[in-house]
Amino acid sequence: MVEEHTIKRTLVEITDDPAHDERTETEEFESNRKKLISMGITCFSCGSKEKLEAHHIVEWAYFNKISKRKMKKLLRVFDPYGYSQKLIKTTIKDPDDIRNLIILCKKCHRLKYTGIHEVSFPAWVAQACARDQEIILKK
Ligand SMILES: [Zn+2]
């Protein structure tokens, strides 16, 4: 058996960000964020009720470059609150669509070494599935 150990690595990511408008928090985004939080939804990853934010599953800045059909297909698989199933016949016209949002606390969203914007998908998913109190992503 391999003993528990720490892996430290540096990820290099190079993307072609398409032209897009300056990021603003639209009324739809804020309305959907509040709607999800008012339903008692907690951080998807750690369950926290503190400092809740809405994360775009398909990144906001890439919306003009992606296939909406593929986006809808992905969001049918990753449908944490059931809205893709409920709105299955409705076109996704905006990255702030409720189907594209997931509630995360600030730590699981943006913090260096733990946030979904800062770590690899496999590491973040493992942390989201960690047993209670278990820490996989370390500072
Ligand atoms: Zn969290």
Cβ-contact 99, 75 below 8 angstroms: yes
pLDDT of residue 100: 98
Whole-number Å distance, alpha carbon 110 to ligand 1 midpoint, is: 10
Name the band, by pLDDT with cuts 50, 70 and 90, for residue 23. confident
Does residue 136 register a pLDDT over 90? no
How far is 20 from 137, CA to CA, in rounded Å?
A: 32
How far is 125 from 80, CA to CA, in rounded Å?
A: 13
Break the chain into its structural domains and give their ranges: 27-106
Tokens of 73: 């297909």
Q: Higher pLDDT residue, 132 or 57?
A: 57
Whole-number Å distance, alpha carbon 82 to ligand 1 midpoint, is: 20
Per DSSP (E only), the strands in the chain are 52-56, 101-105
Whole-number Å distance, alpha carbon 103 to ligand 1 midpoint, is: 9
Does residue 80 register a pLDDT over 80? yes
Whole-number Å distance, alpha carbon 89 to ligand 1 midpoint, is: 31
> Could you report the per-residue pLDDT of 27-64, keeping only the tens digit for each?
999 999 999 999 999 999 999 999 999 999 999 999 98
**Predicted structure pTM score:** 0.90
